[in-house]
Amino acid sequence: MLSLNKERAALSSSGRMERYKLIKEVGDGTFGTVWRAINKQTGEVVAIKKMKKRYYSWEECISLREVKSLRRMNHPNIVKLKEVIREHDILYFVFEYMECSLYQLMKDKEKLFPEAQVRNWCFQVFQGLAYMHQRGYFHRDLKPENLLVTKDLIKIADFGLAREIESQPPYTEYVSTRWYRAPEVLLQSYLYSSKVDMWAMGAIMAELFSLRPLFPGVSEADEIHKICSVIGTPNKDSWADGLRLARDINYQFPQFAGVHLSSLIRSASDHAISLIRSLCSWDPSKRPTAAEALQHPFFQSCYYVPPSLRPKLTTARTPPFAGTRGALEQQSARKVSGTLSSAKLTSSFPSPKLHASIGTGVQRKLDMANQDAKKNDKYLKSSANQQKYRPPGKSSLTSVNKARVPRGVSDASEKLSNMTIGSRRQSVGQTLRPPAMKAGAQWFGETGNLYLRPVQEIQPGRSYSRKVAG
């Protein structure tokens, strides 16, 4: 209780907002306005959300869903809440600043996004969703406007409608912008789950490929009509619970056979179509979880090694000797591989070949050459009898790095030429990075994790008209 009082006093004290200078209003929503601002003390650019409603107590502020949920989450793909300020009964949320939303990128896009770019964005969002759902929350308002982008990094934002998975129903009837609203919510179900986030991601994925919304309904009834026209009318086999929900509100589904998604999303691969189809299943139980979506073949080129499975090594170094002008180059074979298969996530443990090199030690031969061929001959003969360096798991001999050794260091050269590094385990050092991506992406690290960043730059283009419904 004492710590809560201290926190309340610190965050509710007057003058806290004086530390920030508001630069420009960047958004206006139902519950508040968002400003780009700068911290006068540190120079850091932040986003400040000013709530429209008045809050007369600190307890009322910290009980908000957005505050409660974000205080429990810390993930590279979830926007960070830096500070909560209440001044003169006005509530301010201070967030890390992101350059733009996914919607802004789409509406200005002239050419379609390459599949590698869509894959990398979706891979990051699904990682954020998997973490969020694991922490006991689901978002309920996923849409392109709530996915924020800075360069190649994407983050989930706006947790105003977030709900605890274990909370008791009934839930709110209105959830999410209509175009991304799951059918169970459209049919006024009060027992929906985190699978509403997965439906929204299916619709967002399709829109990223085509730059057009997949289900652009103008009302709840029209939204269901649009869904039926694309994926077909549900039946007892595909969604028995949905038929019961429709009967409860005296609604009759329009009859459609549906179309193949590839005819609507021509730029998407077969794996992408397969994932979108599974995400946009009528029955919530048939939609994959976020963790299962990450195992889909669509993400097979995305490699991810969790920190707990990532070995940390230091390469033993050969100490330099005085008077040497040549450079001693050391070699080490490292390889980390992992794939995401359709059946299950394959092991992201380091290759057994890597363990072989750690367990037995790495033999290194220093083959030195002198400008004087006569004096150098004896060193070449002595090193010829030594076993050549072989990378772990390789059968072919590697090329031997050669460095020139000046006269006057022949004794040291001879000793080093016969030196091997014995068997011992390597200790803490640098983190291994996976191999370069083939899909036009590169790796970056944040909070100890590895994530993908695409190489392609985002190009501005033609205007994208959009009617925000709901």
Confidence label for 333 from pLDDT (cuts 50, 70 and 90): very low
Domains of the chain: 7-96 (3.30.200.20), 100-299 (1.10.510.10)
28 is catalytic: no
Determine whether the annotation assigns residue 50 to a binding site: yes
Confidence label for 417 from pLDDT (cuts 50, 70 and 90): low
**What tens digit of pLDDT does each residue of 363-412 get?**
343 344 444 444 445 444 554 454 444 444 444 444 444 444 444 445 55
**What tens digit of pLDDT does each residue of 280-316 get?**
999 999 999 999 999 999 999 885 555 655 556 544 4
The CA distance from 364 to 386, in Å, is 10
pTM of the model: 0.63
Which residue do the tokens 């367990």 mark? 359
Q: What is the pLDDT of residue 139?
A: 92
Catalytic residue among 28, 89, 141, 222: 141
- What tokens appear for 79 in the block? 């926007």
